[in-house]
């Protein structure tokens, strides 16, 4: 590659945004969850390129922390996990798309999560062709109405397969719809119907809990838990602060500081009128980087929570966004820092240790999961620890 050609985000001198990903914090979060779950094992959920943080870096870190089982959404993500963890057990949550997709599973020793009787038949066919009883996971829908066999379908599959032995289930699982609301009655209803199905698959691993499910108590752990967001530093229960260590720090470069007068407007749509003389820091970050337009301070009628919009953190203070977030730039009100405290070239934190990711997400009317999986390719990425 010639000197003049840089991949976007590859060089901090040219990047508008910077991501620091703390692999030690990731490992500590995994270890803390694994301890809560003992004697159950704790899997790593690395779908969505490890919640936007990179399967190639996250999987080896989790493996060092003792993780041996992984969940991805898609078979190509599974192949990436296989490359990073040669001996791991890798489950593909979205199941099987077609008979032709089978070779990718077989070549990479990926284990499909069978989500319907159609998936079961496909895997039986693929198993038949391979001449082996191929391992699979059985997903039962206990109240989410997303993926999974019905309880009745799962029970009849358990019975049939114990006779035909066409495929080899090694995991039975279900997924909670409301685990982040511990008092929601659906949690216990799902637990009870899952217990019925799990009993029909004796002697294999069994899994129900995602991150917030881990905190619902040991009876939700079975033999394997599947925390995702908590490992990446997100909150376990909606509305309460995360006990996990922050893993990602997102920062943006300030490319200009300007002064505007009371009564002037800021940004597209002239949606925000300044109430006072204002110092504005313009940061090189925007919705093209996955920084949500919905965290704009004004002019976003569709944001549901009606809150004031997002903040940045700089020089020990929280500073609000002004006007609308644009494609490549976002304006922050740094007046309260005092004169000449912010300069071109400084970096402002968008979320991280000083500005919890869940708060940044809530200000945008979204969740930490979406902020992480939307992180754009233009960020300079730096991995520390691990």
Ligand X SMILES: *Cc1c(COP(=O)(O)O)cnc(C)c1O
Stretch that binds ligand X, among 22-30, 81-89, 222-230, 313-321 (CB under 6 A): 222-230
Under the criterion CB under 6 A, does residue 226 sit at the interface with ligand X? yes
By CB under 6 A, what part of segment 34-53 binds ligand X? 45, 47
Cβ-contact 378, 288 below 8 angstroms? yes
Q: Of 15, 34, 80, 93, which lies in the binding site for ligand X, with binding defined by CB under 6 A?
A: 93
Strands 278-283 and 330-333: antiparallel
User: Given 35, 105, 220, 268, which residue is catalytic?
Assistant: 268
Nearer to ligand X, 62 or 93 (CB): 93
210, 249, 272, 278: residue in contact with ligand X (rule CB under 6 A): 210
Burial, 190: exposed, middle or buried (Cβ in 10 Å; 0-12, 13-18, 19+)?
buried
Among 24-32, 126-134, 193-201, 227-235, which window interacts with ligand X (CB under 6 A)?
Answer: 227-235
**Contacting residues for 59 by C-beta, under 8 A, at least 6 apart:** 44, 46, 50, 70, 80, 81, 84, 85, 88
Residues 175-204 that bind ligand X (CB under 6 A): 175
Active site residue 268: yes
- Catalytic residue, from 30, 47, 291, 379: name it: 47
φ and ψ of 370, to 5 deg? -75, -35
Q: What whole-number distance in Å separates Cα of residue 260 and Cα of residue 243?
A: 40
Give me the DSSP letters along 259-322. EE-TT-EESGGG-EE-SS-EEEEEES--GGGT--GGG-SSS-TT-TT-----EEEETTEEEEEE
Dist CA 71 CA 229 (whole Å): 13
Residue 227 CB, shortest distance to ligand X, in Å, is 5
CB of 53 to ligand X, least distance (A): 13
109 annotated as ligand-binding: no
User: Which of 44, 75, 228, 352 is in the footprint of ligand X by CB under 6 A?
Assistant: 228
Per DSSP, the three-state class of 183 is: coil
How far is residue 154's CA from residue 44's CA, in Å, rounded to a whole number? 25
For residues 98 and 5, give the distance between their C-alpha atoms in angstroms, rounded to a whole number: 40
Angle at 240 between CA 353 and CA 209, to 5 degrees: 100
369 is catalytic: no
Taking the complex as a whole, the smallest distance from the CB of residue 41 to ligand X amounts, in Å, to: 14
Using rule CB under 6 A, residue 361 touches ligand X: no
Measured from the CB atom, is 235 or 364 closer to ligand X?
235
CB of 72 to ligand X, least distance (A): 10
CB of residue 87 to ligand X, shortest distance in Å: 22
Number of residues in contact with ligand X, rule: CB under 6 A? 10
**Residue 366 structure tokens:** 């979204």
Distance CA 141, CA 375 (A): 31
Work out how close the CB of 92 gets to ligand X at its nearest, in angstroms, rounded to a whole number.
Answer: 11
Closest CA to 60 of 20, 91, 40, 30: 30
Taking the C-alpha atoms of residue 128 and residue 102, their distance in angstroms, rounded to an integer, is 11
The Cα 208–Cα 173 span in angstroms is 6
The pairing of beta strand 311-314 with beta strand 317-322: antiparallel
Q: What does DSSP say about strands 17-22 and 380-384: parallel, antiparallel, or unpaired?
A: parallel
Per CB under 6 A, the segment of 28-36, 156-164, 226-234, 296-304 that binds ligand X is 226-234
227 counts as binding ligand X under rule CB under 6 A: yes
CB of 34 to ligand X, least distance (A): 14
Q: Examine residue 365 and tell whether it contacts ligand X (CB under 6 A).
A: no
Is 146 annotated as a binding-site member? Answer: yes
The answer to whether residue 112 forms part of the interface with ligand X (CB under 6 A) is no
Which range of residues in 225-233, 293-301, 343-351, 374-382 is near ligand X by CB under 6 A? 225-233
Region near ligand X per CB under 6 A, out of 13-21, 224-232, 237-245, 291-299 = 224-232
Q: Look at residue 110 and give its three-state secondary structure.
A: strand
The 151-180 site mask, x for binding ligand X (CB under 6 A), equals ------------------------x-----
Active site residues: 47, 268
The binding site for substrate comprises: 146, 327
Contact set with ligand X (CB under 6 A): 45, 47, 93, 175, 210-211, 226-229
The binding site comprises: 146, 327
């Amino acid at each position: 590659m010639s000197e003049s050609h840089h991949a976007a985000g590859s060089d901090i001198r040219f990047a508008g945004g910077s991501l620091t990903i703390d692999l030690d914090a990731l490992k500590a979060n995994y270890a803390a969850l694994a301890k809560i779950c003992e004697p159950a094992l704790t899997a790593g959920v690395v779908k969505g390129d490890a919640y936007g943080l990179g399967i190639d870096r996250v999987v080896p870190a989790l493996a060092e922390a003792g993780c041996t089982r992984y969940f991805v959404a898609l078979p190509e993500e599974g192949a990436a996990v296989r490359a990073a963890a040669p001996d791991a057990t890798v489950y593909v949550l979205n199941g099987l798309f077609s008979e032709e997709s089978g070779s990718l599973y077989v070549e990479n020793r990926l284990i499909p999560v069978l989500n319907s009787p159609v998936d079961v038949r496909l895997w039986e066919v693929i198993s038949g062709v391979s001449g082996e009883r191929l391992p699979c996971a059985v997903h039962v829908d206990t109240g989410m109405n997303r993926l999974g066999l019905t309880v009745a379908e799962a029970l009849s599959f358990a019975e049939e397969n114990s006779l035909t032995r066409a495929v080899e289930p090694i995991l039975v699982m279900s997924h909670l719809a409301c685990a982040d609301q511990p008092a929601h009655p659906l949690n216990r209803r799902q637990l009870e119907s899952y217990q019925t199905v799990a009993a029909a698959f004796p002697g294999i691993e069994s899994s129900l809990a995602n991150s917030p499910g881990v905190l619902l108590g040991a009876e939700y752990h079975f033999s394997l838990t599947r925390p995702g967001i908590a490992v990446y530093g997100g909150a376990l229960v909606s509305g309460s602060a995360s006990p996990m260590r922050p893993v990602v720090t997102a920062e943006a470069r300030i490319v200009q500081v300007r002064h505007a007068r009371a009564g002037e407007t800021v940004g597209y749509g002239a949606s925000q009128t300044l109430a006072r003389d204002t110092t504005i820091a313009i940061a090189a970050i925007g919705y093209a980087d996955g920084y949500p337009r919905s965290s704009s301070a004004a002019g976003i009628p569709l944001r549901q929570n009606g809150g004031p919009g997002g903040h940045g953190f700089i020089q020990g203070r929280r500073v609000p966004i002004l006007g609308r977030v644009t494609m490549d730039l976002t304006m922050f009100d740094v007046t309260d820092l005092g004169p000449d405290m912010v300069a071109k070239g400084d970096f402002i934190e968008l979320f991280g240790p000083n500005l919890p990711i869940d708060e940044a997400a809530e200000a945008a009317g979204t969740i930490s999961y979406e902020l992480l999986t939307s992180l754009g390719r233009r960020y300079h990425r730096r991995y520390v620890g691990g």
